[in-house]
């Protein structure tokens, strides 16, 4: 069988420790070609997110365009970045960094997404693992974006699993619920990889050590150090992680879905986002779509989202380890 060419991906991200692990998985996996990285506020400010994206790509010896995106949510007041989870620098407080000369592409992230989608119609998959302001803005610049992109995969939201920033809300959606609702109703091929599955997959710190020991490379050393910090946050919250240190693989699972969707069970339903009040940031899935609800927000015209509800956790972790252990870094 002729080898298929890798999927072109724009990675919309707020690095972020799990964002970094997802990026390195994407760079390591032969079925993925990262053609651009667009940054957003979230785990850190958008300036720090951009610095981190440039740093992580340079460390891994890759030249990939990085653009800076939105700095604040659409409507709600910005929150302080969660330094206790990802570190004040977003990468577990690395301290002194190596010096590289790579600079950001001057375009805004939303414009970059539009330019790339127009240049490669139907070819680009957008993997978004932060608040969704860049995608929302790109939709305003180019209303045809849903037909120009191949598909959109979002790490965010939750249906049955409790939230991580409120009893019902996941952080990426909570950070910009108005942008998220726009994304969930835009009409593209959309997959939601939320806490229903990411809270089922723990990647152990010992795996990152094995990867670092194998490669002895600044990129995997940096990732291992960042995850050490991140794992401490989860150890403080959950006994099973305190017993065997590790972390949830949130953003990573968006890429695992891309390369092996068969590892997930999907429910395809309308999803809307609560934008205000106590439920702000909640992703609500219409589970009874045979009912004609009088509320206009749930009409039959609303586009559906593929929602990941179950996952084969063991297979995901194995895929991650196999991919990271392969030779993907320059000497």
Binding site for ligand BDR (CB under 6 A): 16, 18-19, 43, 129-130, 155, 164, 170-172, 250-251
Question: From the CB of 299, what's the least distance to ligand BDR, in Å?
Answer: 29
Q: Which of 14, 19, 89, 181 is catalytic?
A: 14
Q: Which residue is nearest to ligand BDR (CB)?
A: 171
Please indicate whether residue 75 is annotated as part of the active site. no
Nearer to ligand BDR, 128 or 148 (CB): 128
Tokens in use for 60? 């891994």
Contact 207, 215 (CB under 8 A): no
171 contacts which partner out of ligand BDR, Ca ion, none, CB within 5 to 8 A by kind?
A: ligand BDR
Nearest distance from residue 266's CB to ligand BDR, in Å?
20
Per-residue binding string, Ca ion, 233-272, x by CB under 5 A, is ------------------x---------------------
Determine whether 250 is an active site residue: yes
Q: Which tokens is 91 given? A: 């990468």
Question: End-to-end alpha-carbon separation of the chain, Å?
Answer: 31
Q: Are 127 and 258 in contact (CB under 8 A)?
A: yes
* Residue 16 in contact with Ca ion, rule: CB under 5 A: yes
Q: Report the partner that residue 164 touches, choosing among ligand BDR, Ca ion, none (CB closer than 5 to 8 A by kind).
A: ligand BDR
* Count of Cβ atoms closer than 10 Å to residue 119 Cβ: 11
Residues that bind Ca ion (CB under 5 A): 14, 16, 19, 129-130, 251
Which residues belong to the active site? 14, 250
């Amino acid at each position: 069988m002729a080898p298929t060419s890798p999927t072109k991906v724009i990675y919309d991200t707020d690095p972020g420790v799990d964002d970094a692990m997802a990026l390195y998985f994407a760079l390591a996996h032969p079925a993925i070609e990262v053609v651009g990285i667009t940054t957003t506020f979230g785990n850190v400010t958008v300036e720090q997110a951009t610095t981190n994206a440039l740093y992580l790509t340079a460390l891994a010896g890759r030249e990939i365009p990085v653009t800076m995106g939105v700095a604040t949510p659409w409507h709600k007041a910005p929150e302080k970045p969660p330094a206790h989870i990802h570190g004040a620098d977003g990468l577990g407080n690395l301290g002194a960094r190596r010096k590289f000369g790579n600079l950001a592409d001057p375009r805004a992230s939303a414009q970059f997404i539009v330019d790339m989608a127009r240049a490669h119609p139907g070819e680009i998959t957008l993997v978004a693992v932060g608040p969704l302001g860049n995608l929302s803005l790109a939709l305003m610049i180019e209303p045809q974006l849903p037909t120009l992109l191949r598909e959109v995969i979002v790490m965010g939201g939750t249906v049955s699993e409790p939230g991580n920033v409120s009893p019902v809300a996941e952080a990426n959606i909570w950070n910009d619920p108005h942008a998220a609702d726009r994304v969930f109703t835009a009409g593209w091929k959309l997959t939601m990889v939320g806490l229903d599955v990411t809270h089922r997959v723990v990647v152990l710190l010992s795996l990152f050590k094995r990867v670092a020991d194998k490669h002895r490379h600044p990129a995997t050393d940096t990732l291992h150090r960042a995850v050490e910090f991140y794992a401490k946050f989860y150890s403080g919250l959950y006994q099973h992680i305190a017993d065997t240190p590790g972390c949830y693989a949130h953003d990573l699972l968006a890429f695992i879905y891309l390369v092996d969707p068969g590892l997930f069970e999907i429910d395809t339903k309308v999803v809307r986002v609560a934008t205000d009040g106590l439920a702000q940031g909640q992703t609500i899935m219409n589970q009874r779509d045979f009912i004609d609800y009088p509320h206009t927000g749930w009409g039959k015209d609303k586009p559906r989202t593929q929602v990941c509800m179950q996952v084969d956790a063991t297979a995901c972790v194995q895929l991650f380890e196999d991919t990271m252990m392969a030779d993907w870094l320059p000497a």
